[in-house]
Every structure is written in C-alpha cells, then in structure tokens.
Amino acid sequence: MEWDAETIVRLRALWDEGHSTAEIGRRLGVSKNAVVGKAHRLDLPARPSPIRRDGAGPSKRTRSPRRISAGPTLPPLVSTHGAAQAPRPPAVQAQPRPAASPLAIRPAPAPMAPPVPVAPAARVQVAPRPFARTVACCWPIGEPGTKSFRFCDGDALLGKPYCQEHAQLAYVKVRDRREDAA
C-alpha cells in the first residue's frame, strides 16, 4: 500500500481521536496491521492496552508456590518381587557460592596425575529385546498424587509395559469394541 500525504493526515487525525487500529483500518481501507506498522513508523503515541480498560498499570505477578512431589511415581526398572530395594543416597542440596571479588587471586590448580591405562573390558554380546526397558508392570493403581498411588509391579509381558491381567484390559481388539457397542 502506498501511503500518500492525505492518508497519513487522516491516519493522524483518527489516531488522535482515539479510534482503534481496526476502526482506523476500516475507514482508510487498509488492514489493522498496516495501521499499526505505519503508526509505529510515524512514531505516534502508544495506545493503552484494550485488555486493561481501567488504566491500571501492570500488576506485579507473584510466583506460584513450587510443587513438591511425594516421591517417585514410576515403577523401578527392575522387578522388585522378593528383592530388597537398595537404600537411596540422601539428596545433596546445592550451596550458594560466595561471589568472588574481581581482584581475588585464585591459586594455581594442583598438577594432575597421569591417567592410568585401563585394560579394555570383555564385551558381552546381549541379544536385543524390544521394549527391554520395562520389566515391571506400569499399570497405575490409586489416585496420582496421593500416598497410596503406586504401580502394579507385576512381571511385564515381553514387549509390553503391562502384566498379563492388565494387558488384557489395555489391549482390546477393535472388533470386540464394535460387538460391545451393538
């Protein structure tokens, strides 16, 4: 679009009257975005936000409290039937480091010992198993977020994330659904 002097004068007048960019665009026969772009290039005064009509300034946003989970909700990668779980090491909290002054002198790093050559380990050939990650059943039991929530933890079927009982519930044949609906 070519902005001639007459159109720019009309734009400035409508802008000063307080019309919306969409209304100015309708009256001038151009798009709202063309009006916004030209107003910006002409350095016209900014308009108040149409969302905040009360003229209030930006409100100070408060951060929502951080969610604290009760613990892991996924089943272990290995089946725990009859095996005791290894104790978890305590979580280490990061300590804030004091800010170093720009004139602080740092000591030279201690010399490192030469690397010790390590004999290559014997490679064990493992047969690939599809979906080998899950050994325990991943069927959720209970309401997530509660202390009683857990996973089934039964032995998962080969190639499936569920045990036999839960796989029958999860995997329903399409024709079975049609027969149930009839």
Tokens standing for 175? 């024709």
Tens digits of residue pLDDT in 118-129:
666 555 555 555
Which residue shows structure tokens 């933890």?
Answer: 153
Q: Choose the most confident range, by mean pLDDT, from 52-66, 109-123, 147-161.
A: 147-161
Q: Read off the pLDDT band of 93 (50, 70, 90).
A: low
Mean pLDDT of 93-118: 64
Task: Evaluate if residue 144 carries a pLDDT over 80.
Answer: yes
What is the pTM assigned to this prediction?
0.30
Q: Contact 85/153 with Cβ under 8 angstroms?
A: no
Q: What is the structure's pLDDT at 160?
A: 86
Per-position b or e across 108-133, b if 16+ CB within 10 A of its CB: eeeeeeeeeeeeeeeeeeeeeeeeee
The CA distance from 128 to 138, in Å, is 21
Which long-range contacts link 4-11 to residues 24+ away (Cβ below 8 Å)? Answer: 8/38, 8/42, 11/35, 11/38, 11/39, 11/42
pLDDT at 47: 75
Mean pLDDT in the chain?
Answer: 74
In which band, very low, low, confident or very high, does the pLDDT at 26 lie, cut at 50, 70 and 90? very high
Alpha-carbon span 5 to 17, nearest angstrom: 19
Confidence (pLDDT) at 2: 83
Which burial class, exposed, middle or buried, applies to 32 when counting CB atoms under 10 A from its CB (0-12, 13-18, 19+)? middle
What does the pLDDT average to over 68-93? 59
Q: Would the pLDDT of 140 be above 70?
A: yes
Secondary-structure breakdown of the chain: helix, strand, coil percentages, each rounded to the nearest 5: 25, 5, 70
Strands (E), 62-102: none
Least confident of 72-81, 94-103, 124-133: 124-133
Average pLDDT over residues 24-42: 92
Does the structure show a pLDDT above 70 at 41? yes
| Integer CA distances (angstroms), 158 to 53, 76, 114, 133, 162, in order | 61, 16, 47, 10, 9
